[in-house]
Amino acid sequence: MLMNIDFKYSIMSYKKLLLWEKYRPKTIEDIILLPRIRARFENGVNQHYIFHGHYGTGKTSLARILIGVYSKETPYLIVNCSEETSIEYLRDEITTFCKTKSMLDTNSDIKYVFLDEFEKVSKSFQLAFKGFVEKYNGNVIFILNTNHLDRIDGGMISRFKKLNFDCLNHEEEKFLKKEIFKRIKNVILEKENKDVPKENLINIINKKFPDFREIIVDVQDYMEVGDVDNLSSNVSNKLKLDLYNTIYNDKISYEDVYNFLMNNFGGEGISNMIKLLGKPFINWSIENNKNIDKLFECNYIIADYSDKLENSTDPIVLGMTIVGKLRGLLN
């Protein structure tokens, strides 16, 4: 008998169980930032910014704090550019927001627009947006967020203050690792009444740095099972992201996908690839709002082909088939 599942509710319930959601910072004091970044926002935000850098470094969290998502004292609009990529959305939704008088009782006329994953919008959107920023420059502050600054038009970039969230030197790396350790040890673990041995916690931070979310995912794994999953510990964030980007980029040729699997997994490592497409892929998809409604079908593909791996005469062919099916479903 088929069950009528409220998928959105199940996703929200799932998110409540995730420590990186539960302890998402809601004030500027809560968030871990490099000193050069924190100093810029001691008195709020007063110009347009492009936040860029590695996944999980606090770009989205800071933007949401600055525009007033949690204080609810300022009018704001959040645009998920992985979903809204067309110039029509710019002309309709964003224009309407910028032109409409705010209903909030505030002494300021400033509004905020946060465009997350801005590199995903169309070229026509980017070209039109340049003039749009200038038109509403007096009463709207725009914050763009991207993991790929090189995909944004140079004319767009020139209208914004660029802020790099990646560590620029060893001292910044040491500072962030120390702050992450303190936040996990003194806040998260204490509130959860759990413990992770210092050596193991340092090991997790070093292997997943600078992605704070991935660090918290591994900490939660340790809390639940008393050990860090070997695969999760030994596979770099870059390899996982390269795998996921290979699945989502259907412009990558068959030959390049084959070479990627051979060079990074080989025949003996396809089982590891399949594991990366399990819980890590689910967490990443939910975190980045990537085709969440298709996760059930993705899980079915992975489960189906996991069973076939043991009897497969050529694991690479099986791996190529899995990637191909996921690319067909998700693109």
Pick the range with the lowest mean pLDDT from 57-71, 145-159, 164-178: 145-159
User: pLDDT at residue 14 above 60?
Assistant: no
Q: Ramachandran region of residue 58, left (φ > 0), alpha (ψ -120 to 50) or beta?
A: left
Residues 72 and 88 sit within 8 Å (Cβ to Cβ): no
Q: Which two tokens stand for residue 173?
A: 């790396």
- Residue 144: which of 174, 119, 116, 109 has the closest Cα? 116
What are φ and ψ of residue 168, in 5° steps? -95, -10
Residue 146: what pLDDT?
Answer: 92
- Mean pLDDT (the chain) is 83
pLDDT one-digit tens code per residue, 250-292: 888 898 898 888 888 877 778 888 888 988 888 888 878 888 8
Residue 329, CA distances (Å) to 43, 190, 322 in order: 46, 42, 11
Q: Which residue has the tokens 């990529």?
A: 85
pLDDT class of 229 with cuts at 50, 70, 90: low
Task: Determine the average pLDDT of the residues in 80-88.
Answer: 77
SS3 250: coil
Q: Which two tokens stand for residue 207?
A: 């292997």
Residue 310: what pLDDT?
Answer: 67
User: pLDDT at residue 221 above 50?
Assistant: yes
User: pLDDT at residue 234 above 90?
Assistant: no
Alpha helices in the chain (DSSP H): 7-17, 19-22, 35-38, 59-66, 87-89, 95-99, 123-135, 154-157, 170-183, 189-192, 198-208, 212-225, 230-234, 237-248, 254-264, 270-276, 279-287, 295-309, 315-330
User: pLDDT at residue 11 above 60?
Assistant: no
User: pLDDT at residue 231 above 70?
Assistant: no
pLDDT one-digit tens code per residue, 188-202: 999 999 999 998 899
pLDDT class of 39 with cuts at 50, 70, 90: very high
What are φ and ψ of residue 90, in 5° steps? -60, -45
In order, the DSSP letters of 24-87 are: ---STTTS---HHHHGGGTT---S-EEEESSTTSSHHHHHHHHTTTTT--S-EEEEETTT--SH
Q: Which two tokens stand for residue 274?
A: 């399949």
- Residue 83: which of 74, 75, 93 has the closest Cα? 93
Q: Is the pTM of this model over 0.75?
A: no
pLDDT class of 17 with cuts at 50, 70, 90: low
Residue 262: what pLDDT?
Answer: 85
Task: Determine the average pLDDT of the residues in 19-44.
Answer: 91
